Amino acid sequence: MTVLSKLSGRALYEAIGKPKTIVAPMVDQSELAWRILSRRYGADLCYTPMFHAKLFATQEKYRKDMMSELDGDEKVDRPLIVQFCANDPEYLLQAARLVADKCDAVDLNLGCPQGIAKKGNYGSFLMDDWKLVHRLIKHLHENLSIPVTAKIRVYDDKEKSLEYAKMVLDAGAQFLTIHGRTREMKGQQTGLANWETLKYIRDNLPDDTVFFANGNILYSDDLGRCLEKVNADAVMSAEGNLFNPGVFWTATEDKEKQFPRLDRIVREYFEVLKTTPGYASRKALKSHLFRLLRTFLPIHTDVRAEIAAIHKGTTLDEIEEKVVRKIESIVESIFGQEDIEELDSIKDGPIEFWGGSYKEVPYWRCQPYFRPVDGISGKEVVKKLSEKKRPQAETPSEEVLKKRKQE
């Protein structure tokens, strides 16, 4: 097996094919089956879910649950970066050594903002302890046979954010991924990632720094805008990818790739899952279905009930019969309508103050999720902000969507 042993920065980036689109590390969600599917829709590089370094180093069951014999396979799952959360340099090294022959680099999670990370003292809560962050990265850099990378968040202060990024690089990180949100920006307070801060950091780091940007990717159109605005080497997506794997598709203007039909993407994912070994991929099935079908399930509540009923003992044959085939039947009937060409069109909204635009996408196709804020849909919140910034702006019509849902 080829291991890109100790390649540094730019040389490592070139050796793995100079990726532009990246599946983010997501707890229980960027598992093998999802990575295989995402690569088919344009993902150049994938990260594993975040693994707990101490558990991975000390518990065989945890390791087997998290990774199978096919994870990191050169034919189906590379390039790959394995991510760990940690607060102990030695446990981190022990865990990293166990995957050194299955990936191209090991990443340290310094961005998780959830309560579990605060309780466990890892992720973004290590932003309060720069000395520990430096020791964690340096210990891997000096003792691991493959490179180490890091994923961080920004502070409200862009100068402090820059100094933090410099420290992480000084410790030995070969790639730097920066999420343009602060630690406090999560849940209903997520808001927009700050590309201006990302650009400021990038502009003030050495030219040869490998820099990945994360945040604000709703559509494939946003990838190019982000690359240009931030001057990043690549763009990472988490939530955007989960609700629509086609978010990474830029090779062609192909609606079937950029906004896949739900019947086809569910079938494709299910067929991948059937051939994917290990516990992690099967465990993630239910969550992936709920996200892919977010706009579909409020209308077809019988399908939602079937997915909700899936449990550990449900067989793949049962899932295929009760969920996959049911979705296929419903979408096929939709496409049997005489006016389907008009109904199935995707319409661009006006350019918003943040540089992109919303699209009206039929509910039977994958599309982004707009996070609610204080009980109001995320789309409506940004609509109000947009009206303040640009009083004459039009906004995408909701009437068409309501009409289609009724149909």
Q: Position 122: which residue type?
A: Y
User: What pLDDT digit, counting tens, does each position of 348-357 carry?
Assistant: 888 877 677 7
Three-state DSSP state, 289 = helix
- Predicted model pTM: 0.89
Confidence of residue 323 (pLDDT cuts 50, 70, 90): very high
Of the candidates 117, 48, 46, which has an alpha carbon nearest to the alpha carbon of residue 83? 48
| Whether pLDDT at 3 is above 50 | no
Least confident of 186-195, 235-244, 390-399: 390-399
Q: Catalytic site residue 103?
A: no
Rounded mean pLDDT of the chain?
Answer: 89
Rounded CA separation 197/305 (Å): 43
Q: Mention every residue, 6+ apart, whose C-beta is less than 8 A from residue 376.
A: none
Q: What phi, psi does 137 have (nearest 5°)?
A: -70, -45
- CA-angle at 204, arms to 201 and 208, nearest 5°: 100
- Residue of higher predicted confidence among 1 and 107: 107
Would you mind telling me the total number of residues written for the chain in this entry? Answer: 407
- pLDDT the model gives residue 397: 39
Q: Choosing from 46, 112, 226, 366, which is the catalytic residue?
A: 112
Confidence of residue 387 (pLDDT cuts 50, 70, 90): very low
Q: Would you say residue 37 has pLDDT above 50? A: yes
| The pLDDT of residue 380 | 58
Asked if residue 321 has pLDDT above 60, the reply is: yes
pLDDT of residue 121: 82
- Quote the tokens at residue 405: 């849902």
Q: Per residue in 286-309, pLDDT tens?
A: 999 999 999 999 999 999 999 999
pLDDT at 382: 44
Instruction: Please give the angle made by the CA atoms of 22, 121 and 96, to the nearest 5 degrees.
Output: 50
| Secondary structure of 307-329 as H, E, C letters | HHCCCCCCCHHHHHHHHHHHHHH
Does the pLDDT value for residue 10 go beyond 90? yes
Q: Please give the average per-residue pLDDT across 127-147, as a whole number.
A: 96
Q: What is the pLDDT averaged over residues 188-198?
A: 79
What token pair was written down for 378? 């995320």
